[in-house]
Amino acid sequence: MRKVYLDNAATTQVRKNVIDKMQEALGDFYGNPSSTHSYGRSAKSAIEKARKTIAKYLNAHPSEIIFTSGGTEADNMILRCAVRDLGIRTIITSKIEHHAVLHTAEELEIEYGITLLYVDLDTDGNPKHSHLEQLLQQNDTKKLVSLMHINNEIGNKIDVDSISELCLRNNALFHSDTVQSIGHYPWDVQRTKIDFLTAAAHKFHGPKGIGFAFIRRNSGLKPLIFGGSQERGFRAGTEPFHNIVGLEEAFVTSYDNLEEEKAYVTGLKQYFVEELKRKLPGVHFNGNSGSIEKSTYTLVNVCLPFDPQKALMLLFHLDIKGIACSKGSACQSGSDKGSHVLAEILPKERLGKPSLRFSFSIYNTKEELDYVIDELVAFANS
């Protein structure tokens, strides 16, 4: 059976050079990084090298990079510590954020009695800057804005520069879940005055279970996890050294080849969009996902012109044909609930039709996309 993987927004294939680097780390550098002997010092030195490398590419200071288990932990840590340690009394977000942000903010509302506000969205799911400014000026409490750079379901890109300036003018902190952004778009945290961002290695061809948070120096945040003095005392626990060097290798490879790989994947997306329009009349691209300029080049979210009852078998049909894609985000798979993102932005007539997310990487080909489109057409005509 032919196998086609188009669920790269959920996780990506690990690069061969990353696997080799991790195997070397597991085999040769097994000392505890907190140990003072040569085995430990070697591991600790490599961790600090990885921290400096990531900081250099982001134009950050190494002390601003904190390794975490991934984006969810980093989002939770930043939001919870901001409320606990910085006196944040109002969080402003949107209803189409990742649940790592939404559910955390909802819990903080219950636990700490903070005010939780949602910025209005346009019909494509973009935050309205005028409404965000109104919310920032609504009361005199200390505020934090949390808006993701790239939406993990519909791919919309927000203007992080203008939002960061808006937050700065109104004395608010700005956090962005950049899990779908890091490794795919360049970042300069000196130019973009953001306070906190988060990343996960498995979204840019690195290992699962490792990510990082950028926390601007002198933020005032205190540890969420206590124990040893790892991560400069900010996050206790023995560092997963093999994962950290794997993250570094994937990070560097992604950015050193960014323009070439971005051009290739962009070509795949453009081809997929054009062929779907040509072969499946009535197809609709949710949010801005059909646009190269307004959304990420790595995914499309497609509303297909299929009968709702027939569509119940669509994912099963694609799976038995060896095609991997996603109904909403992978974090929601296995749930009876539909996509909270699509529920927020789609009109009722389109909510009843099937929507699928197809996401691309350098390991995909146009021939694979042709196969997927042919199977969708065959399903439509069956």
Residues 306 and 233 in one domain: no
Please report, for residues 153, 163, 218, the alpha-carbon distance to residue 338 in angstroms, rounded to integers and kept in the order given.
Answer: 12, 29, 41
Residues 269 and 246 in one domain: no
Check if the beta carbon of residue 239 is closer than 8 Å to that of residue 230.
yes
The pLDDT value given to residue 1: 75
The CA-based angle 265-297-329, given to 5 degrees, is 110
Structural domain count of the chain: 2
The pLDDT value given to residue 338: 82
The pLDDT value given to residue 59: 98
The tens digit of pLDDT for each residue in 157-188 reads 999 999 999 999 999 999 999 999 999 999 99
Residues 249 and 333 in one domain: no
Alpha helices for 59-182 (secondary structure H): 71-86, 99-112, 129-136, 160-169
Question: Residue 275 corresponds to which tokens in the numbers above?
Answer: 């062929």
DSSP bridge pairs for 301: 357
Residues 230 and 299 in one domain: no
Question: What's the number of CA atoms in the CB half-sphere (13 Å) around residue 235?
Answer: 22
State the Cα torsion 84-47-70-89 to the nearest 10°.
Answer: 20
Known catalytic residues are 331
Beta strands in the chain (DSSP E): 4-5, 65-68, 90-93, 115-118, 143-146, 173-177, 196-200, 211-215, 284-285, 299-303, 323-324, 355-359
Please, which pLDDT band fits residue 336 given cuts at 50, 70 and 90? low
Residues 142 and 187 in one domain: yes
Residues 377 and 247 in one domain: no
Residues 250 and 333 in one domain: no
The pLDDT value given to residue 328: 59
* Residue that terminates a domain, selected from 256, 278, 307: 256
Any idea what the CATH number is for the domain that residue 23 is in?
Answer: 3.40.640.10
Instruction: Reply yes or no on whether the pLDDT at 58 is more than 70.
Output: yes
DSSP bridge pairs for 157: 150
Angle between helices 366-381 and 258-279 (to 10 degrees): 20
Phi, psi (rounded to 5 degrees) for 24: -60, -45
Any idea what the CATH number is for the domain that residue 338 is in?
Answer: 3.90.1150.10
What type of residue sits at position 5? Y
The percent of residues in the chain predicted with pLDDT above 90, rounded, is: 87
Residues 96 and 240 in one domain: yes
Edge-to-edge strands, sheet with 115-118: 65-68, 211-215, 196-200, 173-177, 143-146, 90-93, 115-118
Q: How would you class 58 by CB atoms within 10 Å of its CB: exposed for 0-12, middle for 13-18, buried for 19 or more?
A: buried
What type of residue sits at position 310? K
The tens digit of pLDDT for each residue in 188-214 reads 999 999 999 999 999 999 999 999 999
Residues 33 and 176 in one domain: yes
* Residue that terminates a domain, selected from 256, 285, 316: 256
Residues 191 and 302 in one domain: no
C-alpha torsion sign, points 100, 105, 106, 107: positive
Query: How far apart, in whole angstroms, are the C-alpha atoms of residue 321 and residue 316?
Result: 9
The pLDDT value given to residue 232: 84
What's the predicted TM-score (pTM) here? 0.94
Instruction: Reply yes or no on whether the pLDDT at 243 is more than 50.
Output: yes
Residues 298 and 229 in one domain: no
The pLDDT value given to residue 310: 81
State the Cα torsion 80-82-87-90 to the nearest 10°.
Answer: -80
* Residue that terminates a domain, selected from 197, 222, 256: 256
Integer distance in angstroms from the first to the last C-alpha of the chain? 20
Domain of 68? 16-256
Mean pLDDT of the chain: 95
Residues 222 and 168 in one domain: yes
Question: Residue 340 corresponds to which tokens in the numbers above?
Answer: 């909270």
The pLDDT value given to residue 334: 46
The tens digit of pLDDT for each residue in 115-171 reads 999 999 999 999 999 999 999 999 899 999 999 999 999 999 999 999 999 999 999
Query: How far apart, in whole angstroms, are the C-alpha atoms of residue 239 and residue 381?
Result: 53
